[in-house]
Structures are given as C-alpha cells and as structure tokens.
Copies of this chain bind each other. A is one copy, B any other.
Amino acid sequence: MAQGSTASGPQSEVDVLIIGAGPAGLMMANWMSRCGIRTRIVDKRGTKIFNGQADGLQCRTLEIFDSFDFAHRAWIESNHMLEICLWNPDPKTGVIHRSDRIPDTIPNISRFQQVVLHQGRIERFFLDSISEHSKRTLQNVPGWEQGIQVEHGVMPVSFEFDESLAEDNDAYPITVKLRHLSELEATPKQAATSVNGSSLQDGLFRSNLSPDDTQELLERSKALREKEGREETIKAKYMLGADGAHSWVRNQLGFKLQGESTDYIWGVLDIIPITDFPDIRMRCAIHSENSGSVMVIPRENKLVRLYIQLTTMENAGGGKRADRSKISPDTILASAQRIMKPYKIDYRYCDWWTAYQIGQRVGDSFSLKERVFLAGDAVHTHSPKAGQGMNVSMQDAFNLGWKVASVVKGTSNRTILKTYQSERRRIAKDLIDFDHRFSRLFSGRPAKDVLDEEGISMEEFKNAFEKGNLFASGVAVDYGASIIVAKSGDSTEQGDGTEVLGEQTLRVISTQDLAAGVQVGMRMPSFKVLNQADARPWHFQELLKSNGTWRLVVFAGDIVGNPGQKARLDALGEKLGSATSFLKRFTPPGSRYDSVIEVLSVHSSKRKDVTIFDFPAAFRPWDDRDGWDYWKIHVDDVSYHEGYGDAYTHYGVDRARGCAVILRPDQYVSWVGAMDDYDSMDKFFSGFMVEQPQRATLETTEMVDSKDISRVSLKDADDAGDQATNGAVVGMAAA
C-alpha cells in the first residue's frame, strides 16, 4: 500500500493511533486525554464539516458527556425535544390530523432528555476537553507536554502488522505510514461545489463557531502548509479505525460490512420553516394517505430538519418512483408540501440538504487480535431518522477507550479487550434490527382499515415508536456475562459470540436481588444522594466521572439504627485498609489511593446522626497535605433545596443491611453482592487486574500532632488598597 516515491520520513512511537476525528475518534482521544496515554489522532480532512450531519443526542450520550464534564455545554446550546406528535390520515376524510402525542424521552429513565445539536459543536466540546485534559495528564511525559492535538489533513497510506508481537503488551506491532496532505487535498468537495463560492463565509456555522476557532483554523492552515506532502512512520501499540463508512482501516484489515440497501429514498432539508403547521417545533411523524411520510426534527437556531420520503412503496396505490437525477431542494420541498397539505410549508433560509437511500449493514469483525479496533460508521451503517448514528459511534469508543488505557498503563491484562467486540458488535446488530423494522413502518403507507394488509397499522407504528424510544435512549444497553460483568448465563449467547469469560475458577456471580434497581450489565442509574460532610446533593452519576477509575460502592445501610451494621462496616474497612487489600495490590506505587479503584459509600442513617468519623479511614482516606477526604461518604437523606432522592428505594437496596456494587470505569455495573463480601470483590478484581510490584500507600494514620506539620504559606496579605473593602487593614507582615 505504500505510496511509491516518497522517502520514508521520520519515525516515532505512540501508545494509541486513532484514524478519523469524527465523534468515535474524538471520544477515543478524549478517554486517552483523561488517562494520560500517548495518543495521536489524525483525519484526512483539513477542515471540519459545519452543516448537516447527524445531531440527535440520546440521554445516555448526555450522561456520558456529563462524566467528561461537558454535558452542560450541549444541554445549554441544543434544542430540547419533549414531545412526539403522530399525524395520520383521518379515517373519514383522509386529511392528516394529530392522532397522538407521546413524550420524546420516556420519563424517569435518565436525568437528561434527548436533545438536538449540530455535530460541529459536539466536536468542539471534544476538542476543548482533549486539549485541556491531555495537557494536564501528559505534562510530565517527555515530548508530550503539549498534550494530544487533533491533526487534520493527515491520512494513512500504509499499514503493517506484526502478528508475533500481538500478545506482548509492551510491543509495537502496528506500523502505519502517514501522509500530510496539501491544503487543497484536505479540503472536502462540498465547499468546492457551493452555490456562490462562499459556503464557509455564510450560513449557520458562524453562530456555532466559538471565538478561538478562527485562530485554530488559521493555525491549522499554517501547519498544513509546513508539513504539506511529508510522510512519516508511526509505530503504535494500539490503533482505532474510526474513519467512517468507507473505512480505510477496515479495508486494510480485509473486514466486510454485511447487510443490504432498500429502495426507500428520503430527502433531508434543514430549513427555517415558514408554515402554519401547528407542531413544527415538535418532533413529528407524519404519515400521509398516499404521498409518503415526513419526520420533523426541530433544531437549534430556529432550524427544523425535515426527513421527507421521496419514494413510496411501489406496490401500494398512488406510489410513484422518483427520478433520482431530479432530486433538488425544490423537489424535496414539493414532496413535503404534498405530504403535509392542507398545511403550508416553505422557507426562505435553507441551511443544508441531501438525500439518501436506507441501508443497514454491520461489520463481521470489530478487531484484529485486540490490537486494531474498528468503531462507529466503520462497522455499522443505518438510516439517520432514529438519531442513532453519532450516539452509537461515540458509545463504541466510550466502551473501548478505558479498556485500552488500562491495558497500556499496565493495571489490567489484555483479556478484557475481547469484551469490546462481544459487547459492541451485539449492540450494532440490535441497532440494525431495530432500524430495519422502524424504517419499514415509517416508509410504509398507512393502512386504510383493518382489512388493508399491505398498509401499515398506525397502532403498530405507535407501539414500535414507543418501544423504539427506549432502545434509542441508550439506557437499555445490557452487556452480557464476561470477565468484567459478573452475571450468570452463557457469555457467547449474551454477546456477539466471542468467548469473554476468562478463567472459570475466577468467575464471580452477582447476587442480583440485593439491588434490584442496579442491574448487572447495565449502566448505574442515577438518584440524588447527599455528601455527608457538607450536605450537598449530587446525582449519583455525577460522582462517577470518566477518569479510568473502577468504583466499589458500599451501600453501608443503617449504621446507627441497625445493631451489628457498624461492626460489619468496621470489619470491611479493616480489610480494605490492610496491606494485602486489593485496593493496594492493584494500585501502582506512587499513585493516588483512588486512582485504580475508588471506594464510595452511601449510608441510610439520618445525615444528622452521623459524621465522616463514624466511618473507618478506608472510606475517607488521609492525605498528608489535604487531610481527610471529605468527598467519598454520602447519605440517602432529604436535601434542603432539591427534594429527596430516595436512592435506596430506587436502587432496591435494603435500608438496614445495604449491599456492595462494583462499577466499571464506564459506569456499567460489574457486580452486586453483600456489603461485606470482601472475598468476592477481591476475586472479581483478581480476574483481570495486574498485581503491582510494590504496594501503594493508603494512609490510615490518624491526625498527626500539629507541631509535626511544616506549613507552606505561599501568599502573604494583599495590599492595603484592596483590603479597605473589608475595613481598615492592620498588622500586615510577610509570612
């Protein structure tokens, strides 16, 4: 595959090489930025795509964004979709009318609801996050002080893989040659075909550009000029192909997409609508009598996206095959007008348009020897109307990132990597099935009556829509049994067929009924609890930031009112704090006490009856500079301003005796067991974690006497002018 004449250029090593800087690639890079992994991410494009593109964000995706601290940016900027209105032909007149309303996001499944936001903004959030965090986590790694930068206008030209090195964790079995493109090469076609040659100067994207973006574009352009045409060689430990439906990486591996296309053709218009249709700011599914269907997706900045059916079922009455060469905004709009009449629909501003043919395909394999992985559109394609594409792509990489990072860092062994394909290829297949059913129902002509067997029953459509909504939310994902999901059953049946159980002797099975609301294999649901030390309410998921850390959540029960419970807690605390505890065996020397496994607790006594000193030191670890850790112990009690989370009830945990839960770094539940079942916890972690050569120090010392403390006072008092605010300043002296 190498590109002939060019000299081989410089060579360098990275832990992870990511091909493609779309949502899946950026999610992967984002994980690496949190975990401090030497990563390069390249994309052949020289500029970002500003318009069009998928833009629905599921509530689970927002939960994930929140775990990376930028959900609020999406939440604030996006359009929130609250209700779905179903419009169908009136059985008597045939004229469309609103037949039903259903909530867009099923109430109470998440603290977020589905929203819509332009993909360019989401990429911006990732870029900001990657830059900020990788500078912090890599600041002490020579050559990586600037952190991880997304490199545009760079494409891979050759790929080699040394299979003999695949199982050597320290080896670099992957060799990729990269070519730095000229600016012209890296400019996507669409800009060249724009109407007035100024597509980058006009349109929606201006409002989406944050001020620093302009500077970035200039710098990127400069960087492109400097590197133009150069080639370099990268040796990588791991690689991710997140390079879209025409994936170069997938082609290099020789993997295939399986599935087929249909004849349904749909047009898409992003417009500011001028209309008398009363539900234009709702999500609507409109089935006309004979003219096809429209889906309405209200967006940010006054925009509305219309998905407009251009072909109807040929064997149904009135259907007419569209002439593909004649598809234009005008012909698409004309279809919409036919479908939505008697309502008027038009526009003066169109932001973007396209047309597509529905097809569902899924990759036959997601990984080469657990060294090269594929994610996102590279391994599954489907129709855009259910708002799944970008979400599932990001969630692929969200599943993979922490696994690769923990193996690179040497805290987990490679066995966990097989769970990526097992878990995500199963999801992709489910998605394809869902999309196939949904598309058929949406593209079909409504049944005229119960005898019209070729027509689609609108009742069936509504039911499918409601069920589809749960699937589409992303919270229904339920990963099968594996070395990191301690549940019973056949792991190959529960996944995609890959064997992921590990050694049978180390298999742990949860006691699921100790926490009926904390389903093993699913993501941890979120309810409000209070911090014991300061009474602040937190949604429990807010405590589960994506930083690569596993969590042991101890639901301590009622340590005041239940006799013996305090003793059980103390006994567990003693084991956790001991020198041979799994907390210490698996934590590298010099690392913080909560860097591999963090211990969180939630008790059910009254907040006012307890202080953190009622908990053993392992639950509030000591630091010489910072004293006790006040941010680990929580309580299920009433807040002053935000009501009562009633977490024990929602989690299905016994208020008296509690339970224990192990959570993966991606918030999925690994194990549920008895509160003090230390042995199962130890066995579970021992199944895949790597014993560290030296023991980390988990200080449990009680407070040292104050005279032993050498104080550091970095600042002395401010000058008098400032302090006059606070009355006259007295007694100023340098420390």
Question: Footprint of B on A, CB under 8 Å?
Answer: 49, 51-54, 72, 76, 79-83, 101, 103-105, 107-108, 113, 131-132, 135, 188-190, 193-196, 199, 202-203, 211-212, 244-246, 261, 265, 272-276, 278, 280-282, 298, 302, 322, 324-329, 337, 344-359, 377, 381-384, 389, 531, 533-536, 608, 611-613, 624-627, 630, 639-641, 703, 706, 709-719, 721-735
**What is the CA–CA distance of A646 and B627 in the complex, to the nearest angstrom?**
46
Query: A274 is contacted by which of B273, B383, B709 (Cβ under 8 Å)?
Result: B709
Taking CB as reference atom, which chain B residue is nearest A629?
Answer: B302
B722 touches A326 (CB 8 A): no
Judging by beta carbons under 8 Å apart, are B80 and A536 in contact?
Answer: yes
Closest B residue to A54 using CB positions = B725
Is B49 within 8 A of A723, CB to CB? no
Chain B residue contacts of A190, Cβ below 8 A: 715-719
Select from chain B the residue with minimum beta-carbon distance to A610: B278
What are 30 A-B residue pairs whose CB atoms fall within 8 Å in the complex? A49-B718, A52-B718, A54-B726, A72-B72, A188-B721, A190-B718, A194-B715, A195-B713, A195-B714, A195-B716, A199-B715, A245-B721, A245-B725, A273-B627, A281-B531, A327-B730, A345-B706, A346-B706, A346-B711, A347-B709, A350-B711, A354-B717, A354-B723, A354-B729, A355-B730, A356-B726, A356-B727, A356-B728, A357-B730, A382-B727
Q: What is the CA–CA distance of A633 and B346 in the complex, to the nearest angstrom?
A: 23
Instruction: Tell me whether A383 and B727 are in contact in the complex, defined as CB-CB below 8 angstroms, given that A348-B709, A630-B281 are known contacts.
Output: yes
A188-B722, A359-B727 known; 5 other A-B pairs, CB under 8 Å? A54-B726, A82-B641, A245-B725, A348-B709, A354-B717
Complex-state Cα separation, A714 to B329, whole angstroms: 11
A194: chain B residues at CB < 8 Å are 714-716, 734
State whether B344 touches A712 (Cβ < 8 A): no
- Chain B residue nearest in CB terms to A630: B281
Are B211 and A244 closer than 8 Å at their CB atoms?
Answer: no
Given A355-B731, A535-B83, residue A348 in contact with residue B625 (CB < 8 A): yes
| Residues in B whose Cβ lies below 8 Å from that of A714 | 194-196, 199, 202-203, 349-351
Is B80 within 8 A of A76, CB to CB?
no
In the bound complex, CA of A104 to CA of B536 (Å) = 11
Determine if A377 and B724 form an interchain contact, defined as CB atoms under 8 angstroms apart. Answer: yes
Q: Assuming A103-B640, A714-B202, A714-B350, is B734 touching A193 (CB within 8 A)?
A: yes
Expressed in whole angstroms, the minimum distance between the Cβ of A106 and any Cβ of chain B is: 9
How long is the Cα–Cα vector from A355 to B265 in the complex, in angstroms? 74
Contact A278 B716 (CB under 8 A): no
A108 to B359 alpha-carbon distance, docked (Å)? 52
A611 — which chain B residues lie within 8 A by C-beta? 278
Per the bound structure, the CA–CA distance linking A76 and B71 in Å amounts to 12
Which residue from chain B places its CB closest to the CB of A331 in the assembled complex? B731
Q: How far apart are the CA atoms of A625 and B350 in the complex, in Å?
A: 11
Contact at A329–B276, with CB atoms within 8 Å? no
> Which residues of chain B are near A382, meaning CB under 8 Å?
727
Q: Are A731 and B327 in contact (CB under 8 A)?
A: yes
By the criterion CB–CB under 8 Å, are B710 and A353 in contact? no
**Contacting residues, chain B, for A81 (C-beta < 8 A):** 534
Q: A282–B535 contact, CB under 8 A? A: yes
Task: Given the known inter-chain contacts A714-B350, A715-B351, please indicate yes or no for A324 contacting B211, CB distance below 8 A.
Answer: no
Is B712 a contact of A348 with CB atoms below 8 Å?
A: yes
Inside 8 A of A203's CB, which chain B residues have their CB? 714-715
The answer to whether A350 and B727 touch (CB under 8 A), given A282-B535, A627-B275, A719-B189, is no
Q: Is the CB of A276 within 8 A of B640?
A: no
Distance from A209 Cβ to chain B, minimum over Cβ atoms (Å): 12
Known interface pairs A351-B715, A353-B717, A716-B194; A641-B202 also in contact (CB < 8 Å)? no
- The answer to whether B735 and A329 touch across the interface, beta carbons within 8 angstroms, is yes
B324, A731: Cβ atoms under 8 Å? yes
Given the contacts A212-B212, A356-B723, A727-B356, A711 and B298 also touching, CB distance less than 8 Å: no
> Is the CB–CB distance between B626 and A355 below 8 Å?
no
Of B107, B347, B712, B730, which is within 8 A of A356 by CB? B730
Knowing A103-B640, A325-B731, A627-B273 touch, does A384 contact B726 (C-beta < 8 A)?
yes
